[in-house]
Amino acid sequence: MTTVTDQHPKEDADIYFETHAAPTNLALVASALNTFLTHHRVAGRRVVLVSSGGTMVPLENQTVRFIDNFSAGTRGATSAEYFLEMGYAVIFLHRQFSLLPYSRHYSHSTNCFLDFLSEWGRIGEDDDAPEGTGDGDVVVRRKYKAQMLDVLRKYRRANEQKLLYLLPFTTVSSYLFYLREVATQMQIFGSEGLFYLAAAVSDFFVPPSRMAEHKIQSGDLPDPLAEDSTPATTKSDSKGGRKLMIDLDPVPKFLKRLVERWAPDGMIVSFKLETDPSILLQKCHMALNRYQHNLVIGNLLATRKYEVVFVSPDGEEWIRVPQAKDGETQIEIESEIVPKVVDMHERIIKEKKAAKRA
């Protein structure tokens, strides 16, 4: 805490924004978001922000090395599709090159996308080769056709009706600048705005004042016997050896800022990832108590595709889907999670509207 502004005392979150450069395209993004949100407001559609993938923390200004957060983007990309099916417009704030709604079915999979295709001339050679229309045609193999047609139709609908706004981030600071922009613009939706925060957000970062400009050179690590004159990330260790020691500051908890100021009327769902089953519930309750939002969805790294726990002011509820055996298609747990979240959202909207009328 330092100085006091007109409305709020200055906090770590304010200092974070003051000391980080905004993404260079922020003004363009803000304008595109405004168009997207206005369009859906006029159409009477609800909007959900889905965050997805992991944020990255650079160790150098001209970044070669960085610290990453785990997340392939499966939870976010899959959930976004179910929200679209349930009538929401979706802002998909995702780590660049992580999984995307619809294309996720064909990227990062064990099959290369070319394995889904065949040539008309090869009919008879592949058991499952498709019917084609002429020599040289590239066609979808018969066994993939039904599923691909279904995905294609949903993808086309989302594009044609401009239901999906893709917003990529890389660093934790770009994620936070975009989150703030989206949330403040979504205020026009009041309680009809939903925040579904599945991204894995960095807890520590190198402040710009300590960040090396160029690639850290192993040969340039500080002399352990010299005075500590290098305020960069690198330091010598206490035993006098040359080591790369990274000195990180905590990233302020922006969920607090989101709940209290950026999206005071929206429904906010956060996720909690743990690896130790014995602390998961306790961590979820701690997050709910600390941030006073609507729902924490807890999951364990090893079982996140088969079970999650909803922790809300109403209590705890486990959601489970059976684990697919070899050759079976896995039921997507997001097909259970998203309708439950939408039910809660509907209830919250009704309650807030009733409270306003009273």
Which residues contact ligand PMT (rule: CB under 6 A)?
71-75, 197-198, 200-201, 203, 251, 253-255, 270-273, 299, 304
State the minimum distance, in angstroms, from the CB of residue 352 to ligand PMT.
22
Phi, psi of 187 (to 5 degrees): -55, -25
Nearer to ligand PMT, 53 or 130 (CB): 53
Of 47 and 197, CB closest to ligand PMT: 197
**Using H for helix, E for strand and C for coil, what is the string for 165-206?**
EEEEECEHHHHHHHHHHHHHHHHHHHHHEEEEECCECCCEEC
Q: Which is nearer to ligand PMT, 129 or 176 (CB)?
A: 176
Tokens of 180: 């703030």
Pick 39 or 340: Cβ nearer ligand PMT = 340
Q: What angle do CA 20, 296, 304 make, to 5 degrees?
A: 95
Considering the complex, state which of residue 10 and residue 143 has its C-beta at the smaller distance from ligand PMT.
10
Nearest distance from C-beta of residue 274 to ligand PMT, angstroms = 7
Query: CB 187 → ligand PMT: shortest distance, Å?
Result: 18
Cα 325 from Cα 332, distance rounded (Å)? 14
Minimum CB separation of residue 235 from ligand PMT in Å reads 24
Please give the C-alpha separations between residue 171 and each of 18, 94, 187, in angstroms, as whole numbers: 16, 11, 25
Minimum distance from residue 15 beta carbon to ligand PMT (Å): 14
Closest CB 179 distance from ligand PMT, rounded Å:
8
Are residues 50 and 124 in contact, defined by beta-carbon separation less than 8 angstroms? no
**Residue closer to ligand PMT (CB basis): 47 or 296:** 296
Q: Cβ contacts of residue 262 below 8 Å, gap of 6+?
A: 179, 180, 183, 184, 187
Residue 209's closest CA among 16, 19, 18? 19
